[in-house]
């Protein structure tokens, strides 16, 4: 099952490399060639660097675009939807580290979140948060219970009429109970019968969160805020 968002981590390395290269190029241009202050070429270089730096700040700390490649979040998010993801609401990650700053709030139940897949952090997943630290999660015959109460989830769909009993060992339809540990979350896809989520790979550590899905911006006919 392909259930991840293609974000190309190598592209980010190349992006930062180009940025450093441009900065070094301007330093060399100023120091060695000694271009005059009012030179048109230097002005273009300065403008280009400002644009690159602005794009870097926005992409790293504010918002980033993602594309949905799988059906695990249908009908909320469809294959081919292009999303804008808020990268600062849960805390901004300092590039190439797990450190974060400026956390506005913690994830809450119902948030749609983009995160690094815990079993392969080079891939990005998108799921809905259904459990926060301290919650007890259980699934009985496809019904999600949080702290013992069945949840009202109008966005969830079930497309498979088969029901896997607990005895089969398949956790899709009967699972738990488990308690969500500190700094972790329980994630599930809205297309419950076809989603590789916390039922199969466990809790999501907070440090792997990249941001909150904010809006669908393409196709234009699908434009809307995700929540």
Point out the residues that are catalytic: 72, 127
Hey, CA dihedral for 3, 186, 139, 146, is it positive or negative?
A: negative
List the beta strands (DSSP E) in the chain.
Answer: 63-67, 82-86, 92-93, 100-101, 112-116, 124-131, 136-140, 143-146, 149-150, 175-179, 184-188, 204-205, 209-218, 224-225
Q: How far is CA 128 from CA 44, 56, 115, 163, in A?
A: 44, 28, 11, 22
The residue among 110, 80, 120, 101 whose CA lies nearest residue 208 is 120
Q: What is the DSSP letter of 32?
A: I
Distance separating alpha carbons of residues 186 and 158, to the nearest angstrom:
19
Q: Count of CB atoms within 10 A of residue 165's CB?
A: 10
87 within 8 A of 211, measured Cβ to Cβ: yes
């Amino acid at each position: 099952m392909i259930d991840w968002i293609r974000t190309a981590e190598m592209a980010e390395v190349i992006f930062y490399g180009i940025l450093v290269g441009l900065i070094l190029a301007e330093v060399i241009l100023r120091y060695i060639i000694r271009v005059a202050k009012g030179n048109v070429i230097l002005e273009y270089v300065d403008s280009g660097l400002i644009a690159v730096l602005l794009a870097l700040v926005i992409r790293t700390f504010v918002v980033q675009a993602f594309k949905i490649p799988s059906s695990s979040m249908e009908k909320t998010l469809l294959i081919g939807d292009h999303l804008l993801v808020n990268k600062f609401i849960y805390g901004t990650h300092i590039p190439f580290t797990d450190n974060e700053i400026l956390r506005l709030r913690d994830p809450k139940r119902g948030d749609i979140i983009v995160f690094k897949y815990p079993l392969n952090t080079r891939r990005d997943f998108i799921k809905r948060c259904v459990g926060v630290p301290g919650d007890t999660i259980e699934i009985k015959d496809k019904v999600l219970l949080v702290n013992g109460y069945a949840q009202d989830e109008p966005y969830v769909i079930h497309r498979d009429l088969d029901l896997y009993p607990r005895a089969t060992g398949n956790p899709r339809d009967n699972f738990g109970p488990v308690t969500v540990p500190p700094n972790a979350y329980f994630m599930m896809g809205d297309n419950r019968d076809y989603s590789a989520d916390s039922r199969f790979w466990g809790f999501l550590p907070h440090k792997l969160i990249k941001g909150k899905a904010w809006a669908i911006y393409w196709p234009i006919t699908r434009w809307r805020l995700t929540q």
